[in-house]
């Protein structure tokens, strides 16, 4: 199996102008939207535009070509898979593969695998992207809905695991020669990839640093990978409200994705939110799940930690005093860890809150309105907006009376953007 480089695109798309040229040294296959056959419906092929005619014609289980947010892509579900032409040699020490993808969920899945399933599989297991040498995991990269160019490029000495141009770790994958490979599953058909692939680029050797930068810039401006504003990097921590629980296409309709679309030059952001989490859980995981992002964002001038949480704490019957203490601890801890700024939000209403719980929610919000500047750098009072103050309003909330619908999440995005984040 190859040394696999994986470019990852999450959430909405945001292209740019004046895209640089794609690096072509050692390029053996270039699969982009214009090569998808047909342009909509069941895929029957994916033409290579590299000039080498390494077209994908073997499709054991066809994905669907569709348009989402103005972009044409291949929609993988239910074990769909493509076969890489056997004219491409998957040698574990002389191949790099990059793909622009959107991945709407975080179940255990494999995107690219050798035909025999023995070396260097790229897989997801809930939160991280795990990279395996055969059955042994050699590294993990944090996963989320946001767009990235993440890669694994090999040479005879080591494997460089790259996230948005930064080296995350060094390891070595075993050497093996395999012609062809599978896209979308682990052989023969297990751990299917569920998501959208927009483009793939295969190289017969490790990219140079200069070519990697060019590839990153190309995907950045052509597909919006990693955002185009390199001055700021955000991590979005939260619960099901930030996840976009219950809405279709969360990677497009969650509030951070809608917030991103409001920017002319989209910033980079990481998605850390998990459905059902309380502040207490977020605190225990902050060092490994939030602060770890700092090292992955070193090239950005300003690193910002965003927290929209508290609903699950109120629901669990915690007191406002305890919730406020956890908010203080979380924000102070992120500043201490090295974040330049943090952002605080008020807690939204819920029809699941009885009178006692509603009193606790109101007390937390009252405290935040008076004291947010003692813990955070920016404050977004979403609970005070008339569109979001009634959880029974079906214009902005789902039928459960807990979670905003896509329109309501758009309001959250609008208020966050207006606050300056």
Domain identity same for 98 and 235: no
Domain identity same for 278 and 368: yes
Among residues 198, 223, 248, which one ends one of the domains?
223
* Structural domain includes residue 379: yes
Domain identity same for 152 and 216: yes
Q: What is the pLDDT of residue 272?
A: 82
Domain identity same for 250 and 194: no
Domain identity same for 274 and 215: no
- Among candidates 314, 312, 316, which has minimal Cα distance to 282? 312
* Structural domain includes residue 155: yes
Q: Which CATH number characterizes residue 217's domain?
A: 2.60.120.200
Domain identity same for 95 and 173: yes
Q: How far apart are CA 344 and CA 337, in angstroms?
A: 17
Domain identity same for 238 and 216: no
Q: What is the pTM of this model?
A: 0.64
- Start-to-end CA distance of the chain, whole Å, equals 42
Domain identity same for 141 and 249: no
Domain identity same for 130 and 273: no
Total domains present in the chain: 2
Q: What is the pLDDT of residue 226?
A: 59
Strand ranges inside 92-185, DSSP E: 96-102, 109-114, 122-124, 128-133, 136-142, 148-154, 159-163, 166-171, 177-183
Among residues 202, 223, 244, which one ends one of the domains?
223
**Residue 191 CB neighbour total at 10 angstroms:** 18
Task: Write out pLDDT tens, residues 127-151.
Answer: 334 444 344 433 344 344 444 455 5
Q: With pLDDT > 70 as the criterion, what percentage of the chain qualifies?
A: 71
The domain of 377 spans 229-418
Q: How far apart are CA 303 and CA 323, in angstroms?
A: 25
* Structural domain includes residue 2: no
Domain identity same for 270 and 172: no
Q: What is the pLDDT of residue 416?
A: 98
* Structural domain includes residue 136: yes
Element (H, E) at 29: strand 27-31
- Among candidates 258, 271, 269, 272, which has minimal Cα distance to 233? 269
Q: Do 37 and 175 form a contact (C-beta atoms < 8 A)?
A: no
Q: What secondary structure letter does DSSP report for 397?
A: B
Q: Where are the alpha helices (DSSP H) in 351-405?
A: 355-371
β-pair type (82-91, 96-102): unpaired
* Structural domain includes residue 1: no
Q: Tokens for 238, please give them.
A: 């939260």
* Structural domain includes residue 120: yes
Q: What is the pLDDT of residue 4?
A: 29
Q: Tokens for 235, please give them.
A: 């991590």
β-pair type (341-345, 195-203): unpaired
Domain identity same for 201 and 335: no
Among residues 223, 246, 265, which one ends one of the domains?
223
* Structural domain includes residue 126: yes
Domain identity same for 181 and 301: no
**Residue 132 CB neighbour total at 10 angstroms:** 21
* Structural domain includes residue 211: yes
Q: What is the pLDDT of residue 133?
A: 39
pLDDT under 50: residue ranges of the chain: 1-17, 105-108, 114-148, 164-173, 175-176
Q: What is the pLDDT of residue 379?
A: 98
Q: Which CATH number characterizes residue 345's domain?
A: 3.40.50.1110
- Among candidates 130, 208, 219, which has minimal Cα distance to 171? 130
Q: Do 231 and 385 form a contact (C-beta atoms < 8 A)?
A: no
Q: Tokens for 259, please give them.
A: 């917030």
């Amino acid at each position: 199996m190859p040394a696999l480089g994986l470019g990852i695109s999450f959430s909405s798309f945001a292209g740019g102008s004046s895209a640089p040229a794609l690096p072509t040294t050692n390029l053996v296959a270039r699969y982009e939207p214009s090569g998808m056959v047909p342009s909509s419906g069941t895929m029957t092929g994916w033409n290579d535009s590299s000039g080498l005619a390494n077209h994908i014609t073997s499709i054991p289980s066809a994905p669907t070509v569709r348009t989402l947010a103005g972009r044409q892509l291949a929609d993988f579900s239910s074990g769909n898979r493509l076969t890489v032409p056997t004219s491409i040699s998957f040698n574990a020490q002389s191949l790099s593969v990059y793909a622009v993808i959107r991945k709407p969920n975080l179940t255990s899945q494999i995107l690219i695998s050798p035909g025999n399933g023995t070396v260097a599989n790229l897989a997801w297991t809930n939160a991280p992207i795990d990279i395996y040498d055969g059955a042994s995991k050699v590294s993990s990269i944090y996963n989320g809905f946001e767009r990235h160019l993440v890669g694994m490029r090999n040479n005879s000495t080591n494997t460089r695991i790259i996230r948005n141009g930064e080296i995350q770790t060094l390891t070595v994958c075993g050497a093996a020669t395999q012609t062809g490979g599978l896209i979308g599953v682990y052989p023969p058909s297990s751990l299917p990839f569920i998501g959208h692939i927009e483009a793939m680029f295969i190289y017969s050797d490790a990219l140079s640093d200069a070519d990697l930068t060019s590839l990153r810039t190309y995907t950045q401006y052509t597909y919006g990978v990693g955002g185009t504003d390199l001055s700021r990097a955000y991590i979005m921590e939260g619960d099901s409200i930030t996840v976009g629980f219950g809405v279709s296409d969360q990677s497009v309709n969650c509030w951070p994705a809608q917030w991103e679309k409001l920017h002319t030059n989209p910033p980079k952001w990481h998605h850390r939110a998990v459905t059902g989490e309380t502040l207490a859980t977020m605190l225990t995981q902050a060092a490994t799940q939030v602060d770890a992002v700092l090292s992955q964002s070193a090239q950005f001038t300003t690193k910002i930690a965003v927290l929209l949480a508290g609903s699950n704490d109120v629901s669990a019957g915690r007191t406002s005093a305890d919730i406020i203490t956890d908010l203080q601890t979380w924000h102070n801890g992120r500043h201490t860890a090295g974040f330049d700024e943090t952002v605080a939000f008020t807690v939204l209403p819920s029809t699941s809150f009885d009178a006692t719980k509603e009193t606790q929610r109101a007390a937390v919000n009252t405290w935040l309105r008076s004291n947010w500047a003692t813990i955070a750098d920016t404050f977004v009072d979403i609970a005070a907006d008339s569109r979001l103050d009634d959880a029974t309003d079906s214009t902005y909330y789902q039928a459960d009376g807990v979670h905003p619908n896509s329109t309501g999440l758009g309001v959250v995005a609008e208020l966050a953007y207006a606050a300056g984040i």
